[in-house]
Chain A
Amino acid sequence: MHELAVTQEIVEILRERAGERKVRRVVIEIGKLSLILPDAVRFCFDLCAEGTPAEGALLEIIEPPGRARCRDCGGEVALEQPFGRCACGSTDLDWISGEELKVREMEVI
């Protein structure tokens, strides 16, 4: 449900940055561990963008994978879910990828 609030923020960023221009395409990053469902954002986007410069824009979503560094042994761990265990047995992980939540770029006309 928070995807609606998140999508409103995306559209707001586009509206501010686009000014009088029209947004043709937007690229956003939603990390695999970010707690945001890309499909839900897609579902909300067209509705939220209606009547704004982003109306009708093509939405591209990049999903960086989850990766973490073990705080105990320094090893790198791939994360499919927002927790995991290092080969050394530790669960004390510092996430280095997968939490991204940003508007990377837009194409305007």
Chain B
Amino acid sequence: MCATCGCSETKAEHGQDHGHSHDHDHGKTIRLEEGILAKNNAFAAKNRAWLRERGILALNIVSSPGAGKTTLLVRMIKDLAGRLPVSVIEGDQETSLDADRVRAAGARAVQLNTGTACHLDAHGVGHALGDLRPADRSCLIIENVGNLICPALFDLGEEKRILVASVTEGEDKPLKYPHMFRSADVIVVNKVDLLPHVDFSVDRFRDHAREVNPRAQIFPVSATRGDGLEEWYGWLLSLSGRPVAV
């Protein structure tokens, strides 16, 4: 049995937290008013409390497949070495390829395979936290499954949600996937090195993003060439409470 939440670690059996009595009355309507995502939200709150107690800055990174999440992550691990320790929970349907890439870059990582599920949930992340044991005052990056729909609904206990878009996708992505863009605290627009080759205006993208989420911060970057990364790191380091290196 799991020491974190008392479950047997199989999805079908977790979280049967009986906060109610089994009064067996018959043929009656019972008011429930119970949130369908309440269990996930409770696990998320537990994760968040655990992370905050340790001063760990947790980021939930979401994107469509191929936007460059892992490339950005690998670059961040290398660039931030000595400034901010990073560990990673990798979410993918299958394989540990991304965790392998992250480990090769020098960070500790745990791979979560979701199988048929299209998103990470807070319960799975809670277990991964137990396996990974990120260091106090470090940065934990949870790389979600590449999907701009389902992960929007599932709070993992992160401090900030980071959406990685790329210039090889349409400028109108924020309008097509408004839930996810609305839920993001930061939008990183990756692959700006390809701007000369694609019909993509960062300004028009920014307008669309503002339409659904006027509060998100937007950082245009190139994870391969390095454009814009120091601005993005500056934000990250300011949030982690550590000084920005010169």
Residues of A near any B CB (own CB < 8 A) = 1-2, 5-6, 9-10, 12-13, 16-17, 19-21, 25, 28, 35-36, 81-83, 85, 90-92, 101-109
Q: Does A105 contact B29, Cβ atoms closer than 8 Å? A: yes
Inter-chain CA distance A5–B40, complex, in Å, is 11
Provided the pairs A16-B16, A82-B178 are in contact, do residues A102 and B27 lie with their beta carbons within 8 angstroms? no
Q: Which residues of B contact A17 (CB under 8 A)?
A: 20, 30, 32, 34
Q: Does A107 contact B179, Cβ atoms closer than 8 Å? A: no
Taking CB atoms and an 8 Å cut-off, the chain B residues in 189-234 that contact chain A are 210-212, 214-215
Provided the pairs A17-B20, A83-B178, A101-B35 are in contact, do residues A109 and B212 lie with their beta carbons within 8 angstroms? no
Inter-chain CA distance A12–B7, complex, in Å, is 15
Taking CB atoms and an 8 Å cut-off, the chain B residues in 33-53 that contact chain A are 33-37, 39-40
User: Could you list 24 examples of A-B contacts with CB < 8 Å?
Assistant: A1-B118, A2-B154, A5-B119, A9-B36, A13-B34, A13-B36, A16-B18, A17-B32, A20-B22, A28-B36, A35-B149, A36-B153, A82-B178, A92-B214, A102-B36, A103-B34, A104-B31, A104-B32, A105-B30, A106-B30, A107-B29, A107-B30, A108-B28, A108-B30
Output the residue of A2, A10, A101 with the most chain B CB within 10 A: A2
Q: Which residues of A contact B210 (CB under 8 A)?
A: 91
Provided the pairs A83-B175, A83-B212, A109-B27 are in contact, do residues A9 and B39 lie with their beta carbons within 8 angstroms? yes
Q: Does B34 contact A82, Cβ atoms closer than 8 Å? A: no
Q: Does A82 contact B35, Cβ atoms closer than 8 Å? A: no
Q: Is residue B152 within 8 Å, beta carbon to beta carbon, of the partner chain?
A: yes
Q: Identify which of B25, B39, B119, B182 contacts A2 (C-beta below 8 A).
A: B119
Chain B: minimal CB distance from A57 (Å): 13
Q: Does B30 contact A2, Cβ atoms closer than 8 Å? A: no
Q: Identify which of A13, A92, A109 contacts B26 (C-beta below 8 A).
A: A109
Nearest B residue to A85 via CB reads B211
Inter-chain CA distance A102–B27, complex, in Å, is 22
Q: Which residues of A contact B214 (CB under 8 A)?
A: 90-92
Inter-chain CA distance A25–B27, complex, in Å, is 10
Chain B: minimal CB distance from A102 (Å): 5
Q: Identify which of B37, B175, B179, B211 contacts A101 (C-beta below 8 A).
A: B37
Q: Does B28 contact A107, Cβ atoms closer than 8 Å? A: yes
Q: Which residues of A contact B152 (CB under 8 A)?
A: 35
Output the residue of B36, B39, B212 with the most chain A CB within 10 A: B36
Nearest B residue to A93 via CB reads B214
Q: Which 3 A-B pairs have the closest CB atoms?
A: A2-B150, A83-B212, A19-B22
